[in-house]
Amino acid sequence: MNIVSTLLHTVSKPNAYLDPGSGSIILQMILAGLLGVGVVVKVFWKKIIGLFRHSKTEQIDTIDPTEITDEDDQD
């Protein structure tokens, strides 16, 4: 027990502090992160909305190229 108390008393206090510039950098990082999330949401908005919508999209009828005849081209 003596060894532990001796080791604890010899540990010096850290010589570190947060100056006002550190707080400014932290605030800038938080704001940049929020703006980055906003840009990502804006870019992928239609895909995000598509995940939550359950409506079926209408399928466009496609024309089979083998069904086209010369008679269709004469119109």
**Which single residue is written with the structure tokens 């850290």?**
14
- Closest residue by Cα to residue 38 from 48, 50, 51, 52: 48
pTM for the predicted model, two decimal places: 0.45
Assigned token pair, 34 = 């929020």
pLDDT 10s digits, 16-63: 777 778 888 999 999 999 999 999 999 998 888 888 887 555 455 566
- Bin 33: left if φ > 0, else alpha if -120 < ψ < 50, else beta: alpha
Contacts of residue 48, defined as CB under 8 A and 6 or more positions apart, other chains included, come to: 41
**R_g over Cα of the chain:** 33
